[in-house]
Amino acid sequence: MGKNICIMGAGSWGTALSVQLASNGHKVRMWSFFKEEAEGINTHRENIVKLPGVRVPDTVICTNDVNEALQDAEAVIMVVPSEFMRSTMKTIKGSLKDGMIVVSCSKGLEDETYLTMSQIIKEEAPNVRVVALSGPSHAEEVGRGIPTAIVAASEDNEAALFIQDIFMSPMFRVYTNSDIIGVELGGAIKNVIALCAGISDGLGFGDNTKAALMTRGITEMSRLGEVMGASQITFSGLAGIGDLIVTCTSMHSRNRRAGILIGKGKSMEEALKEVAMVVEGVNTTKAAYHLAKKLNVEMPITSQAYEVLFNGKDARQAVVDLMMRDKKLENM
């Protein structure tokens, strides 16, 4: 029997998830910050700007009214940019029933606090049950029914199973995982590495360089994850290496596209303006850099990305500095 699901955020990913849920027989109310966007989706049955060419089913209602979006909701799917997660939770927390399932689909770390999205949700609404949904999943492909596999992670197994059940379909496979911190760190840090992979492409480097960045990027994820209590095996799965591969290699990736522009000589501000959509890796680079310093975790790729993005370091020099670090064993 279909469920009533609220999706907070009508960007490309929120729209794709609404299509997936509606196709599974659920009634979806999707909230957009922009009234014009909500009206456009309802009128044209398409998110023309953010997910063009994907039909939004009639059972999806898009609204600019938070209370309307949350009406009768049995689960709330949070798909707002990570920088707006806390403010959005402050807005809706009074409407969330004890024990309600709230799903984070945003990938990033909060600036200054360095918290994951699930930690923000729990801080603002301690009585809800939190699940993180992550993995290699471009909205452009999910919206078109291209086979995809992702992870629903939660310390609450029953909540994870509920989310698995409502999303699972022949073209959308969902695994469960109890390691929510590892799943969220994988989803956040891969955006930093994808920015660097894009910079490498923009500089004209090749497959060798990208493979090295991705492999050593997994090492950085694992180091940070170990200190924060994550399971190392998580980073070998869909939310780790899987998401890293798809984000570092695809032109669907905003982080990679922004990185390419920076590698070609554009400033961070110019690159973000040209991509014209949220590039989560930028703020995450800053948060991850400071978190690594705080926890005394060695993350050289993240450190060089921070220098390029926020201190104006030449990207080509950053690559040289990475290559010429002290010699060491691979597994250190």
Q: What distance in Å separates the CA atoms of residue 128 and residue 188, rounded to the nearest whole number?
A: 22
- Take residue 95 and report the two structure tokens written for it: 């409407």
Cα 142–chain centre separation: 14
Name residue 2's amino acid. Answer: G
Closest CA to 278 of 161, 68, 62, 106: 106
Strand, coil or helix: 8: strand
Closest CA to 256 of 199, 204, 182: 199
Name residue 165's amino acid. Answer: D
Name residue 242's amino acid. Answer: G
- Take residue 239 and report the two structure tokens written for it: 């939310």
Our answer to whether residue 190 is catalytic in this structure is yes
Q: What distance in Å separates the CA atoms of residue 32 and residue 49, rounded to the nearest whole number?
A: 13
- H-run or E-run covering 91: helix 85-92
Active-site residue (options: 27, 50, 93, 190) = 190
Which whole-number Å values give the CA distances from 9 to 17, 63, 85, 151, 264, in the listed order? 10, 10, 10, 20, 32
Cα 128–chain centre separation: 21
Q: What distance in Å separates the CA atoms of residue 149 and residue 133, rounded to the nearest whole number?
A: 11
Secondary structure (DSSP) of 159-202: HHHHHHHHH-BTTEEEEEES-HHHHHHHHHHHHHHHHHHHHHHH
Contacting residues for 285 by C-beta, under 8 A, at least 6 apart: 192, 195, 302, 305, 306, 309, 310
Q: What distance in Å separates the CA atoms of residue 204 and residue 193, rounded to the nearest whole number?
A: 17
Residues identified as active-site: 190
